[in-house]
Amino acid sequence: MGLTDYEATTYLALTSMISGTATEISTASKVPRSRIYDILKELARKGFVEIERGRPLKYIVVPPADVFHRHRQSLLEDLEEAELELTADYESQISQVPAPIWLIHGPEKIIKKEMEIISRAKESINIRAGFMFEGEAEHLKSKINKANRRGVKTKIMAAPFTIIGNKKIHLSKELSGMQAEIRIYQIPFVKMIVRDGTEMMLIFSKFSGKEKKAVPQSAIGVWNQYPEIARNYAHVFENMWEGDMPKRG
């Protein structure tokens, strides 16, 4: 949290003392007396210590819960600012890469790419969820709810259920709590995500058994950034959404 070794040692000693004079704190922390005044003054400036006026001065520790809460919030703000700056740099370059189509293998990398696509959404996200991977719904919920706070509208066309492990999961329940318009359709075992009609990914997998259980190690995502292709898939999605496609529930 930005403390030097001496500052950290002094704060640690003071948490067991609650309060003390500079001499007492120097003895408890084993920080040289010649340094302790400057260190306590700096700790006060950083919000770790409060100074009570008197003769001699008395130093009172700021509770660790208060310190950690304040620094946690500051760290999160710094991380969000860094994410925005780096994402802007990334997005400014990615559109310049020729032939922007990549193959992505495995559920973890596919889910990671889905989250990345959602984080770039400015207006809309359209998802067809013919199946889902383990843990994917929670990742989607977090990112989509965050996108919703930015004003992004999400539509999800989901199959009635998916098999995760050996368990039959009803997607209407799995997706509950998500800030999106969700409809249950009889759709093929294919996944698709399109954002803003400019970027998309199709996800395929092999399936086994009568219950049509996805084989995770076979999963592959086709990530595409050709706007004309993404726009076409977004148009098809909207037609299906507004049309008479068989629904369930």
Note whether 128 and 189 are within 8 A (CB): no
pLDDT at 24: 92
Q: Please enumerate in sequence order all residues whose Cβ is within 8 A of that of 239, keeping only pairs 6 or more positions apart, or say none.
A: none
Amino acid 94 reads: I
Q: Could you give the CA distance from residue 237 to residue 80 in angstroms, rounded to a whole number?
A: 32
pLDDT digits (tens, 9 = 90+) for 128-170: 999 999 999 999 999 999 999 999 999 999 999 888 878 888 9
CA dist., res. 76 & res. 84, Å (int): 12
Q: Phi/psi zone of residue 209: left (φ > 0), alpha (ψ -120 to 50 degrees), beta?
A: left
pLDDT at 95: 55
Map tokens 């706070």 to a residue: 149
Kindly indicate the confidence band of residue 187, based on its pLDDT and cuts at 50, 70 and 90: confident
pLDDT band at 249 (very low <50, low <70, confident <90, very high): very low
pTM equals 0.60
Q: C-alpha dihedral over 108, 113, 114, 119, to 10 degrees?
A: 130
Q: Would you state the structure tokens that stand for residue 236, as one six-digit string?
A: 């098809």
The Cα–Cα gap between 196 and 230 comes to 9
E strands, 171-212, in order: 181-184, 191-195, 199-208
Which fold is adopted by the domain 5-62?
Arc Repressor Mutant, subunit A (1.10.10)
Q: In the chain, where are the structural domains located? A: 5-62, 100-242
Angle between helices 33-45 and 5-17 (to 10 degrees): 80
pLDDT in tens, 19-29: 889 999 999 99
Residue 90 in this model has a pLDDT that exceeds 80: no
Q: What does the pLDDT read at residue 243?
A: 78
- Tell me the residue length of the chain: 249
| Average pLDDT value for the chain | 87
Which H or E element spans position 189? none
pLDDT of 32-85, one tens digit each?
Answer: 989 999 999 999 998 899 998 888 889 999 988 888 888 888 788 888 888 777
Is 203:190 a contact under the CB 8 Å cutoff? yes
Q: How many CA atoms lie within 13 A of 35 on its CB side?
A: 14
For the domain with range 100-242, which CATH number is right: 3.40.50.80, 3.30.870.10, 3.90.1150.10, 3.90.1150.200?
A: 3.30.870.10
Q: How far is CA 128 from CA 37, 140, 154, 204, 244, in A?
A: 63, 13, 11, 12, 16
Cross-strand bridge partners of residue 104: 221
